[in-house]
C-alpha cells in the first residue's frame, strides 16, 4: 500500500457509513460474469486466491480459487489465510492514530525520544514520527539481505541495522517508500505499550474489529489454514507456478507481516465505518470522488492483497492471493469496472518463453529508478531476476516479468555492456540508468 493513502482510506470508509447506496444491487448476472472472468485464469494456473465482494455491509460474493499448497494440491477455501503485505501498514497506522488520540504519542516527537542513538542526517536533522509515518525519514525500503530475511529478526534487530547503515537523505527533504521505517514505528509502539507488536495488534485492532483469523505470525510457528506463497515464473523454459523463496516475514513487522482471511479485511472495513476502533479521522485532507474506486495494495513473497471501496455504490472489494501473477491486478481491474457499471476489457495473458542471444553477464548489475530506488538485476541458477521477480525473453531483445506484465529491454554501450534498462509502457519508455 502506498502509505499516504491511510488518511484518505479512513475518510472514504467512514463515508460509506452515512447511508445505504442507491446503486443497482449485485445480482446473479454479476456473479456469473466474475466466474466467467476468473475460472479460465484458474484453469490456466494464473490465479489463486479468494475474492470477496460486499455491498451495503453485506457479503454478496465470496469464492476461492486455486491451491493453498500447489505441490500437495490443497485447495484454497474462504477460510484460507494469506499474507496481506503492506496492508499491514494500515493496521500500524490505526494504532499510531489511537496512541495520538490517547496523548501517548505525538507526530512531532523525535524518534530518538524513544530509541536512543537513532541516526540523524549529515546536517544533523533528526527524523520524527511524522517522517516515519509519511515515508520521509530517510530510511531505506529494506535494510536486510535475502539471507538475513530467512531467519527471525526482531524489531530491535531492524532498528540496529538502520543505526548501522544511517539515513539516505535529510529527513523531510523527499519521500522514499520504506517498509523498514514502519518496523521502526512498530518498535516505538512496543516501547510505549510495553508489549510485543503482535499483542498490541490483537488487543487494539483484531479483537475490536472481529478479525478472528488475523495474526502477526512469524514463519516458523504453525499457522492453521495458512497458504504457501508462489510466483508465476518458468521451469524448463515453460511458464510455471514456482515456490516463493524461503523467508521469515518477521523482518517486516509493522510493514508486511500480518496474515488474514478475506473476511477479516471485510470486518476491518466495517469496524472503520462504525468507528469501533477509536481511530480519529484526520481533517483537511484531500477530498475524493465517491463515484471512483479507492484502493490499497499489499505484496510480499508470493502474496498479493487488494482492499477497495466504491462509496457511491456501497461496494467493498477484497482480493487475497498466494500467486503473484500478471492476472491478479487484471482481475481486480475487471471487477472494479463491472461493479461500477463499466465495460470489462480483455485480460492480457503472458506470452510464451522465447530465446535470446544476450549475454546475462552483460546486464547483471544495479540500476536506479526515477524515485532513486536501486533495481538489482541478477542471475540465479541460470534465470534472470529483477529484484525478486523472474523475467524471461519474449524475443531476442525484449524481456517480460510474468508477475506484473512489465516489458523491458536493455541499452548497451560501445563496450557491449548494458548501461540502462528501458522499461516499455503504453505511453512511452522509461530509462533506468545503471549505477555500477
Q: Grid coordinates representing 152?
A: 527471525
Cα–Cα distance between 363 and 379 in angstroms, integer? 10
Phi, psi of 256 (to 5 degrees): -170, 30
pLDDT tens string 289-300: 888 999 899 999
Q: Are 102 and 338 in contact (CB under 8 A)?
A: no
Closest of 436, 433, 435 to residue 370, by C-alpha: 433
Report CA 398 to chain centroid distance, whole Å: 27
Look-up: residue for cell 516489458?
Answer: 407
pLDDT band at 343; cut points 50, 70, 90: very high
Cα–Cα distance between 268 and 270 in angstroms, integer? 5
Catalogue all structural domains in the chain, each as residue range(s) with its CATH number: 1-349 (3.40.710.10), 360-433 (2.40.128.50)
Report CA 258 to chain centroid distance, whole Å: 11
- pLDDT at 285 (0 to 100): 30
pLDDT tens string 282-321: 333 335 788 899 989 999 999 999 999 999 999 999 999 9
The predicted model scores a pTM of 0.92
pLDDT tens string 22-55: 678 999 999 999 999 999 999 999 999 999 999 9
Three-state SS at 47: coil
CA angle 387, 404, 150 (to 5 degrees): 35
Cα–Cα distance between 160 and 194 in angstroms, integer? 19
pLDDT band at 125; cut points 50, 70, 90: confident
Amino acid at each position: 500500500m502506498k502509505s499516504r493513502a491511510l488518511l484518505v482510506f479512513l475518510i472514504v470508509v467512514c463515508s460509506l457509513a452515512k447511508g445505504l447506496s442507491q446503486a443497482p444491487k449485485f445480482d446473479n448476472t454479476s456473479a456469473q460474469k466474475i466466474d466467467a472472468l476468473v475460472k479460465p485464469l484458474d484453469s490456466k494456473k494464473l490465479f489463486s486466491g479468494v475474492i470477496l465482494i460486499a455491498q451495503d455491509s453485506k457479503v454478496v460474493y465470496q469464492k476461492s480459487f486455486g491451491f493453498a499448497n500447489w505441490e500437495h494440491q490443497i485447495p484454497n477455501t474462504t477460510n484460507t489465510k494469506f499474507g496481506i503485505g503492506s496492508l499491514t501498514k494500515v493496521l500500524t497506522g490505526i494504532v499510531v492514530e489511537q496512541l495520538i488520540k490517547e496523548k501517548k504519542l505525538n507526530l512531532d516527537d523525535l524518534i530518538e525520544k524513544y530509541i536512543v542513538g537513532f541516526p540523524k542526517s549529515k546536517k544533523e536533522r533528526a527524523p520524527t514520527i511524522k517522517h516515519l509515518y509519511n515515508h520521509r525519514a530517510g530510511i531505506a525500503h529494506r535494510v536486510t539481505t535475502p539471507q538475513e530475511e530467512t531467519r527471525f529478526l526482531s524489531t530491535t534487530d531492524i532498528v540496529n541495522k538502520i543505526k548501522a547503515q544511517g539515513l539516505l537523505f535529510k529527513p523531510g527533504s523527499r519521500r522514499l517508500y520504506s517498509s523498514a521505517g514502519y518496523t521502526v514505528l512498530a518498535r516505538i509502539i512496543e516501547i510505549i505499550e510495553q508489549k510485543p507488536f503482535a499483542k498490541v495488534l490483537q488487543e487494539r485492532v483484531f479483537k475490536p474489529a472481529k478479525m478472528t483469523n488475523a495474526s502477526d505470525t512469524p514463519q516458523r510457528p504453525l499457522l492453521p489454514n495458512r497458504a504457501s506463497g508462489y510466483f508465476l515464473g518458468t521451469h524448463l523454459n515453460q511458464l510455471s507456478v514456482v515456490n516463493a523463496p524461503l523467508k521469515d516475514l518477521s523482518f517486516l513487522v509493522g510493514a508486511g507481516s500480518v496474515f488474514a482471511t478475506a473476511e477479516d479485511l471485510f470486518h476491518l472495513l466495517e469496524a472503520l465505518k462504525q468507528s469501533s476502533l477509536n481511530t480519529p479521522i484526520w481533517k483537511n485532507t484531500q477530498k475524493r470522488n465517491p463515484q471512483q474506486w479507492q484502493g490499497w495494495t499489499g505484496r510480499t513473497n508470493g502474496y498479493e492483497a487488494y482492499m477497495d471501496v466504491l462509496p457511491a455504490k456501497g461496494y467493498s472489494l477484497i482480493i487475497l492471493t498466494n500467486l503473484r501473477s500478471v492476472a491478479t491486478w487484471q482481475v481486480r481491474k475487471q471487477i472494479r469496472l463491472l461493479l461500477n457499471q463499466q465495460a470489462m476489457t480483455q485480460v492480457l495473458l503472458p506470452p510464451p518463453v522465447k530465446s535470446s542471444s544476450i549475454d546475462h553477464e552483460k546486464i547483471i548489475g544495479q540500476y536506479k529508478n526515477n524515485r532513486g530506488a536501486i533495481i538489482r538485476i541478477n542471475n540465479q541458477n541460470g534465470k534472470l531476476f529483477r529484484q525478486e521477480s523472474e523475467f524471461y525473453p519474449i524475443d531476442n531483445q525484449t524481456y517480460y516479468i510474468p508477475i506484473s506484465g512489465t516489458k523491458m529491454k536493455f541499452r548497451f554501450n560501445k563496450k557491449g555492456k548494458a548501461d540502462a534498462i528501458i522499461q516499455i509502457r503504453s505511453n512511452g519508455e522509461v530509462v533506468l540508468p545503471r549505477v555500477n
